[in-house]
């Protein structure tokens, strides 16, 4: 069975501040990246699959 892996993208916030001095001849930049410092999460949804008559893996039917 081929496992399907999903990625839950992290919340990410970047910022950049800059200013110019000396009539535009000098520029100062301050960069900040990934201020929330969250990890990327991976998960596999293998419990929702079952083999059919042809031995292929298909999603299980959900009874609502």
Q: Of 12, 8, 9, 16, nearest to 37 (Cα)?
A: 12
Task: Tell me if 12 sits within 8 A of 55, measured CB to CB.
Answer: no
Considering only the C-alpha atoms of the chain, give the largest distance between any 2 of them, rounded to a whole number of Å.
76
pLDDT for 15 equals 94
- Does the global pTM surpass 0.75? no
pLDDT for 3 equals 61
Q: Is pLDDT at 20 greater than 90 in this prediction?
A: yes
Residue range 29-54, pLDDT digits in tens: 999 988 888 877 877 776 777 888 88
Tokens of 45: 């949804």
Dist CA 7 CA 34 (whole Å): 17
Structure-model confidence comparison of residues 20 and 61, the more confident one: 20
pLDDT for 2 equals 56
Q: Of 43, 55, 60, nearest to 8 (Cα)?
A: 43
């Amino acid at each position: 069975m081929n496992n399907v892996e999903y990625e839950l993208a992290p919340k990410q916030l970047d910022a950049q501040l800059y200013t110019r001095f000396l009539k535009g001849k000098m520029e100062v930049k301050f960069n900040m990246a990934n201020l929330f410092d969250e990890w990327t999460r991976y998960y596999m949804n293998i419990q929702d699959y079952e083999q059919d008559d042809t031995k292929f893996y298909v999603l299980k039917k959900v009874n609502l």
